[in-house]
Amino acid sequence: MSVIAYGAARAGLRNSGALLNRNWVAMRRAWILILSGAVESLLFLFAFGFGVGALVGDITLPNGTTVSYTAYVAPAILANAAMMGVLAETSINVFAKFKWMKVYDGILNTPLRPWDVALGEVWWALIRGFTYIGAFVVVMGLFGLLDSWWALLAIPACVFIALAFAGIGLTLATLFRDWTDFDWMNAVVFAMFLFGGTFTPVEAYPAFAQPIVYVMPLYHGIELVRGISLGQLGPMMLVHIAYLLALAVGGMWIAQRRLARALYK
């Protein structure tokens, strides 16, 4: 049994690895695009963290502790960076490969299955996402925004965010019919960025708005990364992780089902 499981796992990794290789070969000439995404997040950090942060100074959190506003905002922008890199890769790029360039049509004539395609796209999105995250954390460290070595745990915390948005992005890529649908996605993403607890604690919002925020995947990502960066750990973190993992698994499952339905006509 375990031999079969091992064999299946190996074949699964080999198959999704082949897709990963395809994306690497296709994108290695366009690495500048990936770099530009990382720069965008850093610009946000400078604008809000240092620009606005200099005006706000310190902020008192709901639990009573006081931190500098820059240290408060930086983890949220890191979480946002983890989301953006992965979401762009899985939604827009997968949509283009799926419906526009018909890349998967050719691939499914090989031993690869829709599940391998979904998994391979997630690997690739994670790699791209982590080029952003890595660059960002280095900059945070250089500006003294990482309070302790614990803060390095923010990087694996970003894995959960990246996984969740890889699942969401893949599902959106299979749901969307047209490029205009991405305008909706971008609007929602921007709303999450503004109101997901990036700039102020959620407790500052009116009571009716708070449940909406709790549903936002980015909110859970921000809370997770911020808690770790500020060294404020708690049981709620397990809730954040569970929520993000559920989105990741659910999203990938729906996406591969929809890919199979569309391509195995």
Partner 1 sequence: MPDDNEILVSAADLRKSYGEHEAVRGVDFEIRRGEAFGFLGANGAGKSTTMRMIGCVSQPTGGTLEVFGRDPHTEGAAIRARLGVVPQDNTLDDMLTVFENLVVYAGYFGIRKKAARAKAEELLDFVQLSARAKDQVSDLSGGMQRRLAIARSLINDPELVILDEPTTGLDPQARHLVWERLFQLKHRGVSILLTTHYMDEAEQLCDRLVVMDEGRIIASGSPRELIDTHVTKEVVELRFGTAHTAELAALAHTLDGVGAQIEPLPDKILVYTDDADDTNAALEARDIHPSSVLARRATLEDVFLRLTGRALVEDEA
CA proximity to 173, closest of 104, 221, 233: 104
Look at residues 216, 214, 129, 120 and name the one whose alpha carbon lies nearest to residue 170.
Answer: 120
As measured in angstroms, the least distance from the Cβ of 264 to partner 1 is 6
Stretch that binds partner 1, among 21-29, 67-75, 151-159, 208-216 (CB under 8 A): 21-29
- Cα 175-180-181 angle, rounded to 5 deg: 30
| Binding test (CB under 8 A) with partner 1, winner from 38, 77, 92, 112 | 112
> Near partner 1 by CB under 8 A, which window of 33-41, 84-92, 106-114, 182-190?
106-114
Answer for which of 9, 14, 190, 210 binds partner 1 (CB under 8 A) is: 14
CB 220 within 8 Å of CB 244: yes
Write phi, then psi, for 58 (nearest 5 degrees).
-95, 160
> For residues 89 and 223, which CB has a smaller minimum distance to partner 1 in the complex?
89
Point out which span in 17-25, 70-78, 129-137, 157-165 binds partner 1 (CB under 8 A): 17-25
The residue (of 29 and 208) whose beta carbon lies closer to partner 1 is 29
Contact flag: residue 108 with partner 1 (CB under 8 A): yes
Interaction between residue 15 and partner 1 (CB under 8 A): yes
Assign 58 to helix, strand or coil. strand
User: Are 89 and 129 within 8 A, CB to CB?
Assistant: yes
In the complex with partner 1, which residue's Cβ is closer, 103 or 254?
103
Q: State the helix-helix crossing angle for 154-175 and 114-142, rounded to 10 degrees.
A: 140
* CA 122 – CA 86 distance, rounded (Å): 8
9 scored as a contact of partner 1 (CB under 8 A):
no
Residues within the interface to partner 1 (CB under 8 A) = 14-15, 17-19, 21-22, 25-26, 101-103, 105-113, 263-265
